[in-house]
Amino acid sequence: MIAHREPSLREVDPALFDLIQHEDQRQRDSLRLIASENYASLAVLAATGSSLTNKYAEGYPGRRYYEGMDYIDPVEELAIARARQLFSAEHANVQPYSGSPANLAALLALCQPGDTIMGLSLPAGGHLTHGWKVSATGIYYNAVQYGVRRSDHRIDMDELRELALKHRPRLIWCGHSAYPRELDFPAFAAIAREVGAYLAADIAHIAGLIAGGAHPSPVPHADVVTTTTHKTLRGPRGGLILCKESHAKAIDKAVFPGLQGGPHNHSTAAKAVAFHEALQPSFRDYAHAIVANARALAAALIERDHVLVTGGTDNHIVLLDLTRLGIGGRRAAHALNLCGIELNANTIPFDPRKPFDPSGLRIGLAAITSRGLQPEHMPAVARLLDDALQVAARVGDGEPDSAVTSPLRGRVRELLSPFPAPGL
């Protein structure tokens, strides 16, 4: 019998193989500072690319609509058990495709269309799915937005309470997309109890910090907790919902059949791997190292006369105000990318510029911490950022010349060369 050898990706689709190889190299050579990104481990990547992608599995373990669940059910049960252990949660649903569907599921489970909900406004650092007007959560629900103080750009809990007493929401979101400070979950919970609202905590950005004990957990205080599984948690692209047992049936029904069909079993397996990695003692060191790096970078940027929203950070995010430099975030981010520094433009509180070209840059420290950089390396990172921003300020709306950007790319590669990129 002649053995059959399947052709490799390189042989089947050399064009795509080449693009992936280039992306691998870009991730090795770039100073990756996008707050919603990280490096997944080789084990997580292996699970994501496994044969589990071949299997359909509508329903839940023991209650499927398909046969052949001999190993799919144990995979999902393992992911559920690890998620519950990691976050000390009563119930976990590991099926959401990402964070946005997880948030929609929380609303579908706990609210009716037209109900009033509250969330941190997008310009103040909130997320689209917390009721912003262009999102389904702002279209199908009566969304009231709370904000931050002008004086220090921190969440105004007094305003939040006043709005909650006035509007009596069915649900209050706490969580963010670009807020560099610790969230006071007990204070949110007290306001929610006072007005008879559910509390939903979106921890997509800080889940890894919570899992590693570097940020307080909302699980004891919130009815529902949603998150992505990438970002600081360092898993695959996917979502997760944690909740109290009293909401378990409603949450599960909202995910399936409410919003989704069959779960992505390869992603479920990769989530299980990521939860296992996060349960190891070394992950606590990693989570605390992220915060230490963020604070060190913030201090180094301030030393170079840069202005930071809230004046610093308590988590993995540093939000840089570019107003002093006279450039927009969009052009600055583009220029920095040409210099090998990857981040994103971001609105700052009370931003005078339009959202498509805001006044800020959002910097995240999770990915370079995964590579092993420490606080002593942050002055060098700040120097690279400062030098690249000076280039962006000089060219304005123009394109930086490669004679200027190439040396900066070389300095970035030199800084990163002792620190291999995980998974690659």
Which pLDDT tens digits describe the chain residue by residue (424 residues)? 567 889 999 999 999 999 999 999 999 999 999 999 999 999 999 999 999 999 999 999 999 999 999 999 999 999 999 999 999 999 999 999 999 999 999 999 999 999 999 999 999 999 999 999 999 999 999 999 999 999 999 999 999 999 999 999 999 999 999 999 999 999 999 999 999 999 999 999 999 999 999 999 999 999 999 999 999 999 999 999 999 999 999 999 999 999 999 999 999 999 999 999 999 999 999 999 999 999 999 999 999 999 999 999 999 999 999 999 999 999 999 999 999 999 999 999 999 999 889 999 999 999 999 999 999 999 999 999 999 999 999 988 888 899 999 999 999 999 999 999 999 9
The structure's pTM equals 0.96
Question: Is 122 within a domain?
Answer: yes
pLDDT on residue 398: 82
Q: Catalytic residue at 357?
A: no
Taking Cα atoms as reference points, which of 83, 106, 103, 59 lies closest to residue 247?
A: 106
Q: Which of 116, 129, 227, 228 is catalytic?
A: 228
Domain termination residue (choose one: 278, 303, 328): 278
Catalytic option among 170, 181, 231, 411 = 231
Out of 202, 252, 277, 314, the active site residue is 202
Give the pLDDT of residue 5. Answer: 87
pLDDT reported for residue 2: 65
The CATH number for 389's domain is 3.90.1150.10
Q: Are residues 178 and 319 in the same domain?
A: no
Any catalytic annotation for residue 228?
A: yes
Options 37, 56, 161, 371, the catalytic residue: 56
φ, ψ of residue 64 to 5 degrees: the values are -100, 160
How far apart CA 200 and CA 198 sit, in angstroms, is 6
The answer as to whether 166 is a domain residue is yes
The yes-or-no answer on residue 413 being catalytic is no
Last-in-domain residue among 248, 278, 308: 278
Distance CA(225)–CA(230), nearest Å, equals 15
Q: Is 202 part of the annotated catalytic residue set?
A: yes
Identified catalytic residue from 58, 90, 184, 386: 58
150 domain residue, yes or no: yes
Same domain? 290 vs 252: no
Question: Which among 241, 256, 278 is the end of a domain?
Answer: 278
Give residue 242's domain range: 47-278
Distances (CA, A) of 43 to 56, 184, 271, 282: 22, 34, 11, 16
- Which pair of tokens denotes residue 314? 């308590």
Residues 152 and 258 placed together within one structural domain of the fold = yes
